[in-house]
Amino acid sequence: MKKDRLVITISDVKSTKSYNVSKIIKKVLVWTVLIVIAVVGISFFTISNLTKSVNTLSNDRENLSKQNDLFSSQISNKMRQIKELGTQLEEIEEIIGINKNDTTTLIQRATLAKLTSTQKSYMLQTIPNNCPMKECIITSKFGWRQHPITRQKQFHKGLDLRAARRTNIYSTADGVVRYIQDKNEGALGRSVIISHNFGFETMFAHLRFVDVKIGDIVRKGQLIARSGNSGRSNGPHLHYEVRHASKVLDPNYFIRWNMKNYEEIFEKQRRVEWESLVKMISNQNHKMGQQL
């Protein structure tokens, strides 16, 4: 037998067979087996490391996602705090304005005495008065209160009046429609602002329908909208504001104002320069009378 050959004998119960295998082939087979084992081992090690890396990346991603949620929440809280601070600053300015302007000198009795019934009727036609609905039941007053939804202390710039959905809303004085929000957006939802004579304005909010458009000239008692529950509201009602020269006024005095208690508003609502206003109206009507 040659030295470079290997004899492999295989025996069973029936016979015995011998095979000659070259030592070179043997070495090739051995090295092949070793290489396969090495490749499998390296592959297993690599896959194991990759699995660990994937798990690590997955954990890092989950941690980053949690941090992102945390940062988003913190940013939202900061934005809410900034908004609340802005609202509080605005409310403080309103309160400062109230404290500053409530000391306005009372209208002189002589000035009131000069008003004719025609002039009084003219003022009641062009300055907001009476209820914007057929019946006024106040559910939330003008001034500081706890907001029914946010539960935060907040300055309420108008009155909340009880109103079922689709209740007719009427203009409380002659005027021009200055602003309309006909979409259910923001805290006040659908709303209308009407400009009246002598710097007065009225706002109607949380509406369901708006029956006028910007630029419309409206008369006192004209249908302008229907009540609803739009905006940030916990139930159907009407939010009603009265303003004068950017100052918010207590609408309750204007709702009660009529010919029978005509002079009461001049004493109760002292954020308006009634003395100058009434004199101007008197002179204006006097000149018109002379021209006629």
Confidence class of residue 83 from pLDDT cuts 50, 70 and 90?
low
Report strand pairing: 153-156 vs 5-11. Answer: unpaired
pLDDT > 50? residue 96:
no
- pLDDT score for 1: 46
* Choice among 2-6, 68-72, 234-238, 269-273 with the minimum mean pLDDT: 2-6
Both structure tokens of 37:
């084992």
Residues in CB range of 280: below 8 A, 6 or more apart: 198
Task: Decide which of 150 and 180 is more confident.
Answer: 180
Helix (H), strand (E), coil (C) string for the chain: CCCCEEEEEEECCCCEEEEEEEHHHHHHHHHHHHHHHHHHHHHHHHHHHHHHHHHHHHHHHHHHHHHHHHHHHHHHHHHHHHHHHHHHHHHHHHHHHHHHHCCCCCCCHHHHHCCCHHHHHHHHHHCCCCCCCCCCCEEECCEEEECCCCCCEEEECCEEEECCCCCEEECCCCEEEEEEECCCCCCCCEEEEEECHHHEEEEEEEEEEECCCCCCEECCCCEEEEEECCCCCCCCEEEEEEEECCEEECHHHHHCCCCCCCCHHHHHCCCCCHHHHHHHHHHHHHHHHHHC
pLDDT > 60? residue 291:
no
Nearest to 207 by CA among 221, 192, 220: 192
pLDDT > 50? residue 274:
yes
The residue-averaged pLDDT of 170-192 equals 96
The residue-averaged pLDDT of 41-48 equals 84
* Choice among 19-23, 182-186, 262-266 with the minimum mean pLDDT: 19-23
The residue-averaged pLDDT of 157-173 equals 97
pLDDT > 90? residue 211:
yes
pLDDT > 90? residue 2:
no
Ranges of each domain in the chain: 1-101, 108-291
Other Cβ atoms closer than 10 A to 143? 13
Q: What's the angle, vertex CA 202, arms to CA 192 and CA 137, rounded to 5?
A: 95
pLDDT > 90? residue 78:
no
Confidence class of residue 21 from pLDDT cuts 50, 70 and 90?
low
Nearest to 252 by CA among 266, 267, 240, 244: 240
* Choice among 44-53, 106-115, 252-261, 265-274 with the minimum mean pLDDT: 44-53
Is there a contact between 218 and 176 (Cβ–Cβ < 8 Å)? yes
Model confidence over 120-163: pLDDT tens digits? Answer: 999 999 999 999 999 999 999 998 888 777 777 888 999 999 99
- pLDDT score for 162: 97
Q: Of 79-83, 139-143, 201-205, 271-275, where does the model show the most confidence?
A: 201-205
- pLDDT score for 90: 59
- What is the fold of 108-291? Glucose Permease (Domain IIA) (2.70.70)
- pLDDT score for 85: 66
